[in-house]
């Protein structure tokens, strides 16, 4: 059977440039049936039919003269989420497939105060996620995380040479052999929740890098639910379909 690179097939099928097609696959929004196309240069049969997810725009939760709080959808990078807001400067980042509260500063004064608060661990951050395994009791992971770059991508791991990282987990719902949990992080290391949960034996469902791929969801089921910062309290409701695993 004749084959061709995935991004070239997608480009021809969708009338896109090769670069645009490759970018869509790298973003994680291209599927064949219910399976995500993970490798843009991987070869597929030339009659392969693709499905591309529609990208949503970030929704403004709150905005005033010093801060913008957004509800970032999955598959949008943090930089892309604030692109429409001239002069906005990110105060933190969310992984591409993580949805939820994303904050940016509109003034240098607020940016400085906010970054100092993050550094001092004076920011309260709550996430929800679905994991593999039964979480029946609260627990805390207090293990250092080391982040390295591989091929332009960040990869984190538990390592005694890493930076301190603290993650608190408590159960919300158990469905079969999966659990929905509430996560509060004291620190903000790269991929902290994903790495700590995998280390604890509860990898996040849909997380292709550290967790468990699933045919029941097209994304990593991790959501930034709430951020308290400098007297502000921002919340972002979970997106539609986030509890897709609750029934089975």
**Cα 247 to Cα 220: distance, rounded to the nearest angstrom:** 18
Distances in whole angstroms, Cα of residue 64 to Cα of each of 69, 89, 94 = 9, 14, 22
How far is residue 212's CA from residue 238's CA, in Å, rounded to a whole number? Answer: 20
Q: Are 71 and 101 in contact (CB under 8 A)?
A: yes
What contacts 82, CB < 8 A, 6 or more positions away?
A: 58, 68, 70, 88, 90, 102, 104
How are beta strands 30-32 and 232-235 bridged, if at all?
Answer: unpaired
Structure tokens at 172: 């919300």
Q: Which two tokens stand for residue 53?
A: 């997810």
d(CA 189, CA 147): 8
- Burial status of residue 27 (CB atoms within 10 A of its CB: 0-12, 13-18, 19 or more): middle
Q: Which phi and psi (to 5°) does residue 122 adopt?
A: -100, 25
Catalytic annotation, residues: 95
């Amino acid at each position: 059977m004749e084959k061709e690179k995935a991004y070239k097939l997608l480009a021809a099928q969708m009338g896109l440039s090769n670069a645009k097609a490759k970018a869509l696959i790298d973003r994680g929004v291209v599927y064949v049936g219910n399976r995500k196309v993970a490798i843009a240069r991987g070869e597929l049969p030339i009659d392969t039919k693709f499905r591309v997810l529609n990208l949503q725009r970030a929704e403004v939760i709150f905005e005033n003269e010093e801060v913008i709080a957004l509800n970032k959808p999955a598959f949008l990078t943090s930089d892309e989420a604030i692109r429409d807001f001239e002069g906005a400067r990110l105060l933190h980042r969310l992984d591409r497939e993580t949805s939820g509260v994303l904050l940016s500063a509109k003034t240098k004064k607020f940016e400085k105060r906010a970054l100092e608060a993050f550094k001092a661990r004076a920011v309260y951050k709550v996430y929800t996620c679905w994991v593999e395994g039964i979480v029946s009791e609260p627990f805390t992971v207090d293990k250092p995380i080391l982040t390295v770059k591989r091929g332009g991508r960040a990869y984190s791991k538990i390592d005694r040479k890493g930076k301190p990282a603290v993650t608190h987990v408590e159960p919300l719902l158990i469905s079969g052999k999966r659990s929905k949990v509430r996560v509060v992080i004291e620190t903000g290391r790269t991929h902290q929740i994903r790495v700590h949960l995998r280390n604890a034996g509860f990898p996040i469902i849909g997380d292709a890098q550290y967790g468990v791929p699933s045919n029941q969801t097209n994304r990593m089921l991790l959501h930034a639910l709430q951020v308290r910062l400098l007297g502000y309290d921002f919340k972002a409701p979970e997106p539609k379909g986030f509890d897709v695993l609750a029934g089975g």
